[in-house]
Amino acid sequence: MGLFGGRKTVFVDADILVIGGGMAGCGATYESRYWGRDLRIVCVEKANIERSGAVAQGLYAINCYMGMQWGENQPEDHVRYARNDLMGLVREDLGYDIARHVDGTVHMLEEWGLPIMRDPKTGRYQREGKWQIMIHGESYKPIVAEAARKAATEVCNRIMVTHLLMDQSKPNRVGGAVGFNVRTGDFHVFRAKAVIVAAGGASHIFKPRAVGEGMGRTWYAPWSSASAYALPIEVGAKMTQMENRIVLTRFKDGYGPVGAYFLHLKTYTQNGYGEEYEKRWYDDTKALVGEYVDRHPVPTCLRNHALLKEVAAGRGPIRMVTKEAFQDPHKEVVGWENFLGMTIGQAVVWASQNIDPKEVNPELTTSEPYVMGSHATCSGAWASGPEDYAPVEYQWGYNRMMTVDGLFGAGDTIGGTAHKFSSGSFTEGRIAGKAAVKYVLEKGKEQPRVSEQEYRDLEKLIYQPLENYRIGRNEIVAGTVSPSYLLPIHGLQRLEKIMDEYVGGISTNYMTNGVLLNRGLELLAMLKEDMSRMGAEDLHQLQRTWELHHRLLASESVTHHTLFRKETRWPGYYYRGDHMKLDDENWHCFTLSRYDRKSGKWAMEKAPVYHIVD
């Protein structure tokens, strides 16, 4: 059987193609159907939308809810909060837009059957903190998937999208996407008038703390493989704030969340000798970032910074003081169910090590860095803002459209909008969905023309690793070591090591500098060359190969952005040793990049920050 023997090409035509069926993708699919009754809306997902994306195992809280109906918060309050937490730099127009719509999304989720806890005294949603409400969210994703299935013309599960296609009849307009079915191996060509990228952010680009089996126990899902970034990057969409990676302080080894513990259970941290330590590092932090340290709440990165300094001073481990709170049986139940609802692995770690937080104060640690756009960080694509108030520099077309015509994004994909979480990502999907319908009915009426030459060339490229393996495998007796090909796990581990050692991972305590970053880029370039020699034994390995391709492109982007921003804006997330201080005079701005796939070059520029709320 030849290279393409027995493999079908499946053509799928759509008006709107939604790539990724997680929270953002399901929101985009739902809203597209509401406004576009007669349109063909196709949602494509590499797993199964019933349990895919970052919410696959459930959530115990919705972290973005205003509570406008009870006057709890207004959208502008959320903008202030996110701006403060991200050290001044967020797209306030986009953040406000999500905040003004998000309550409607949450009310819809409750109507669909998501159990939201209520405060027995007030009858309002049970608050975990100022922005968080508590839910029994084991079935959060199946509920949302049910709504998306009812909205879509077709849901294509188990298809890994590898590349976007461009329209041949118009410059800079998207035309569709290609990918392959990870079960049958069939080649899929999607042709669409508008494409909404709602794929996942990036885990596993930096070396994780766990080794061996445990490398899957990352904080963010191991299947979040940076497709959110690589797909738009490859067609020249501008990206923003890709240097703004996030490091999480979490319970050790299981990365169990600390939000409910801090906010609801009122537990607190101390060093290995039972002392409060954050105040001790106030002057040190102030010398780096100035008055940002005095803001309330203290920005997440700065709290990480104090923890890192305390551990480096030899007074670890940092512990969460749970013994007091867990004497209350209700709080004990909340503490455990919080894990079982969203990070089951943490319950396993504690059960295996006989850690009962009623008797032992569990250890905390800082994670390896992650790149994503929906948590307390905001890497992603540079997108057009809402038509009714976004500044001119932020507006060139339809809401949430990237710098490529007809290409929209939501969730982890869109940069500058931190703290959207699950409800905000779903909401941003809805915003993008409506805008895409508008685009298809107005500007993008014509079916794009995709080049047969282009998708046939891509087909050859996509399946090449199977051929590399088939041929190279005959050279060796057995095992995984070949002079002719690398397996995807080999490439992944090389990527993680480069990023870890040169771009500010755990091995260097998140420290990097211009010299290290430039050397990192040289090593990434060699890995990029080696990608043409990847070997895949089967379709599963082929999926891993293309996930690696996406992670590598995103990593290159992260490294260029980190090199470009000559300051340390977020100590505790990463440090530029050659520019240790925050520099508002020169860097109170967004960083933007554009990749040219023909030359392989990255063009960097600055974009202004607008503060829309006092």
Partner 1 sequence: MPTFVYMTRCDGCGHCVDICPSDIMHVDKTYRRAYNIEPNMCWECYSCVKACPQNAIDVRGYADFAPLGHSVRTLREEAKGTISWRLKFRDGREKNFVSPIRTTSWGSIKGPAEYAAPAAADLAGQELAHEPGALKVKGGLPALRPDQLKRGVA
Query: Which residues in 543-562 contact partner 1 (CB under 8 A)?
Result: 543
Question: Residue 527 or residue 609: which is nearer to partner 1 going by CB?
Answer: 609
Strand bridging mode 364-366 / 380-381: unpaired
Residues numbered 369-388 forming contacts with partner 1, rule: CB under 8 A:
386-388
Site residues for partner 1, window 174-233 (CB under 8 A)?
182, 210-218, 221-223
- The reply to whether 326 sits near partner 1 by the rule CB under 8 A is no
- Tell me the closest approach of the beta carbon of residue 216 to partner 1, in angstroms: 5
**Contact status, residue 41 vs residue 153, Cβ threshold 8 Å:** yes
Angle 350-354-356 (CA atoms, 0-180°, nearest 5)?
70
Query: Is residue 532 part of the contact set for partner 1 (CB under 8 A)?
Result: no
Task: List the one residue from 431, 462, 499, 517 that touches partner 1 (CB under 8 A).
Answer: 431
- Containing 15, the helix (H) or strand (E) segment is strand 9-19
Write the binding mask 119 to 148 for partner 1: x where contact by CB under 8 A, - elsewhere: -----------------x-xx---x--xx-
Out of 16, 59, 86, 114, name the contact with partner 1 by CB under 8 A.
Answer: 114
Helix (H, G, I), strand (E, B) or coil at 10: strand
Q: Which of 150, 266, 519, 601 binds partner 1 (CB under 8 A)?
A: 150
The answer to whether residue 476 forms part of the interface with partner 1 (CB under 8 A) is no
Closer to partner 1 by CB, 68 or 523: give it. Answer: 68
Binding flag, residue 610, partner 1 (CB under 8 A)? yes
Of the listed pieces 8-16, 51-59, 364-372, 527-535, which binds partner 1 according to CB under 8 A? 51-59
User: In the 3-class helix/strand/coil scheme, how is 209-273 assigned residue by residue?
Assistant: CCCHHHHHCCCCCCCCECHHHHHHHHCCCCEECCCCCECCEEECCCCCCCHHHHHCCCCEEECCC
Backbone angles phi, psi at 48, to 5 degrees: -125, 125
Cα separation of 371 and 489, whole Å? 20
Do the beta carbons of residue 94 and residue 387 sit within 8 Å? no
Residue range at the interface with partner 1 (CB under 8 A); choices 242-250, 335-343, 362-370, 454-462: 335-343
**C-alpha dihedral sign at 458, 459, 463, 468:** negative
- Considering the complex, state which of residue 193 and residue 217 has its C-beta at the smaller distance from partner 1: 217
Report, in Å, the least distance between residue 359 CB and partner 1: 10
Q: Which stretch binds partner 1 (CB under 8 A): 1-9, 233-241, 279-287, 340-348?
A: 340-348
The 3-state secondary structure of 424-465, one letter per residue? HHHHHHHHHHHHHHHHHHCCCCCCCCCCHHHHHHHHHHHHHH
Number of residues that bind partner 1 (CB under 8 A): 95
Smallest separation, CB 298 to partner 1 (Å): 16
Q: Give the footprint of partner 1 on residues 232-271 (CB under 8 A).
A: 253
**Residue 222 beta carbon to partner 1: minimum distance, rounded to whole angstroms:** 5
Amino acid present at 504? G
- Alpha helix (H) residue ranges in 533-583: 539-564
User: Shortest Cβ distance from residue 104 to partner 1 (Å)?
Assistant: 4
Question: Cα–Cα distance between 254 and 219 in angstroms, integer?
Answer: 8
The region of 101-109, 238-246, 256-264, 520-528 touching partner 1 under the rule CB under 8 A is 101-109
Give yes or no for a contact between 215 and 205, defined as CB atoms under 8 angstroms apart.
no
Stretch that binds partner 1, among 186-194, 269-277, 436-444, 571-579 (CB under 8 A): 436-444
Q: Is 614 exposed, middle or buried (0-12, 13-18, 19+ CB in 10 A)?
A: exposed
